[in-house]
Amino acid sequence: MNAFSSLEKMLDPARPCFTAETAANIVQIEPDAAKTARMEELAAKANEGKLARDEESEYWSYIYAGKMMSILKLQARLFLKRQAA
């Protein structure tokens, strides 16, 4: 089991861990512009095969954080949709 499947189980919409207010706040979270620019810079270097070892680690941390935020936002949207029904 990887970290993402564990996170998905923790955030099971059948057993929500947040309120309507926190779910709405989570949906509104936007990435930081400076971090997005840095990630795009690292992605370009990765595509060229020019990442240094420390940059590769940084790049993957952005990827993992993005995946986690996507899962969290999806769960928040599902929670809000069910609350509205």
Domain that holds residue 23: 3-84
* pTM assigned to the model: 0.75
Of 47-51, 55-59, 73-77, least confident by mean pLDDT is 73-77
Mean pLDDT of the region 9-36: 83
Distance CA 80, CA 68 (A): 18
Q: Is it the case that residue 3 has pLDDT exceeding 70?
A: no
Task: State how many domains the chain has.
Answer: 1
Residue 18: band (very low, low, confident or very high) from pLDDT cuts 50, 70, 90: confident
Contact predicate 28/72, CB 8 Å: no
Torsion from C-alpha of 53, 59, 63, 68, nearest 10 degrees: 90
